[in-house]
Amino acid sequence: MRNTLIFLLLLTALGIGAHAANVTIPTFQLLTRGELEDGLFTLQTQADIDIQIGGGYKFGGELGLSIDTESLEDPSVLGATYDQEVVSAALRERLALSSASAIVRDLFGLPLNARYFVGQYERLLNGDIFPEQFGSQIVASDFRGLLYFPNGVVYDGLHAVDGTGLTLTSTGLASWLYLEGSIYQDAYLGRGYYSTDVRAAFNTPAFKAETFVGASFPQADFGLYRAGLLLYYSTGEGGEFLTQVGVPRWAPVTDGPLNIDDFYFLFEPRVHLGAISVVLTLFWHPEYYVQAPTQERGATDIIVRLIAGDVQENVISGGLENAIRLRPSSAEDQLLVSVAPFLSINSSGVIWDFKADFNLFPFEPANLFSAYVGIRTQF
């Protein structure tokens, strides 16, 4: 049924005519990691790529294609196997239909847009809304995506909307305000389970805020609930502050009272002294993320980056990254310390990230060094 709906929306989006379509690549991340394995230096490439094909303005359709795989080098053929993990990995290496949507603008002559969507729709509270909706400078933290989370849960924002549903967005109320409400069958929970989210964003040159509340039902005894807040402030004199805090999932009564493990928390002060910047990132991992347990209870990342230049404004920037990672739930490595020189090159909107990670503690010669080459961009 889902594939049928996506196909119908594809016809709607592209039936307007090929001349009216435009192609964008909102997400393009490639990360090649090199490390020693049994005396050999091996390479493994992860990919997270999204492609969008859009239709006209008054009645527009969008089609989403994506690749999301942990190893592009692995063969994408299924072979003579019925192992679920092998089949899933092979399918993820192929460009697949991930979403489709159709929008009606100025619904009934009101400052309201209605969008029907199927599949992966958007991420909430990652900060991307400000350049996308208001055309502001980028304020989101770099501490997200494959470069910082190559293993396990890949964090990007506080919640992801994926499923089949309807979104209403405000238009024209104020240049500094964005309002949105969605209701959808939640793909993370399965058929017959629904979620609703309400989001607001406020934008000024110095202060920005994004907030949302959501619920899922029928779930647990009284449903599942989530909420979050992103705040950004620029002093105008070389100081910036970003914080993202919220609860990705909470089931009243079933989970008991809220506690620190339920929270997603990122705090990032930034100090700019001419061409030199110092960025401190503190990230507390939540117990649940996108409706699933993370197995990272109590995990904390403390990252200090010394940066020369700005990758958004300069062709070349680089620096040194110092990281302390606490993993109390790990049976072996509960404290990880590393230092990593890095270099970023901005080439016509494509950002190349080069990083050499030296693991200082625990000291294990076989796992002392790993190298990363990443490509990321926004079109």
When pLDDT is cut at 50, 70 and 90, the band that residue 92 belongs to is low
Tell me what pLDDT residue 256 has.
87
97 or 230, higher pLDDT: 230
99 or 18, higher pLDDT: 99
In this prediction the pTM is: 0.85
pLDDT higher than 60, residue 93: no
Percent of the chain with pLDDT over 90: 51
Q: For the residues 252-276, what does the mean pLDDT come to? A: 93
**Residue whose C-alpha is closest to residue 343's, from 302, 311, 312:** 311
pLDDT higher than 90, residue 152: no
Tell me what pLDDT residue 162 has.
95
174 or 15, higher pLDDT: 174
Tell me what pLDDT residue 358 has.
92
Listed in order, strand segments (DSSP E) in the chain are 22-37, 40-54, 59-69, 96-104, 112-124, 159-170, 177-186, 194-203, 207-217, 224-234, 239-250, 264-273, 276-284, 288-289, 292-293, 300-308, 316-326, 335-347, 350-361, 369-377
d(CA 340, CA 322): 6
When pLDDT is cut at 50, 70 and 90, the band that residue 14 belongs to is very low
The DSSP bridge partners found for residue 316 are 345
21 or 248, higher pLDDT: 248
Residue carrying structure tokens 């409400």: 181
When pLDDT is cut at 50, 70 and 90, the band that residue 293 belongs to is very high
Tell me what pLDDT residue 85 has.
60
**Residue whose C-alpha is closest to residue 280's, from 338, 321, 226:** 321
Question: Among 42-51, 180-189, 264-273, where is mean pLDDT lowest?
Answer: 42-51
Q: Which residues contact 278 (CB under 8 A, 6 or more apart)?
A: 270, 271, 304, 305, 306, 307
Q: For the residues 138-147, what does the mean pLDDT come to? A: 90
When pLDDT is cut at 50, 70 and 90, the band that residue 378 belongs to is low
Q: For the residues 54-82, what does the mean pLDDT come to? A: 69
Q: For the residues 6-33, what does the mean pLDDT come to? A: 62
Q: For the residues 246-257, what does the mean pLDDT come to? A: 92
Tell me what pLDDT residue 310 has.
84
How many Cβ atoms from other residues are within 10 Å of residue 259's Cβ?
Answer: 10
Please write down the long-range contacts of 224-228, taking CB distance under 8 Å and 24 or more positions apart. Answer: 224/249, 224/250, 224/251, 224/291, 225/249, 225/250, 225/251, 225/252, 226/158, 226/159, 226/197, 226/250, 228/124, 228/125, 228/158, 228/159, 228/264
d(CA 379, CA 372): 23
d(CA 20, CA 17): 6
Tell me what pLDDT residue 107 has.
84
Beta strand 112-124 with 239-250 is unpaired
297 or 9, higher pLDDT: 297
89's enclosing H/E stretch is helix 84-92
Contact 266, 281 (CB under 8 A): yes
Tell me the two tokens of residue 49: 């790529």
Q: For the residues 291-299, what does the mean pLDDT come to? A: 93
Q: For the residues 131-152, what does the mean pLDDT come to? A: 89
How many Cβ atoms from other residues are within 10 Å of residue 315's Cβ?
Answer: 10
DSSP code, position 311: T
Tell me what pLDDT residue 13 has.
45
Question: Among 16-25, 76-85, 161-170, 281-290, where is mean pLDDT lowest?
Answer: 76-85
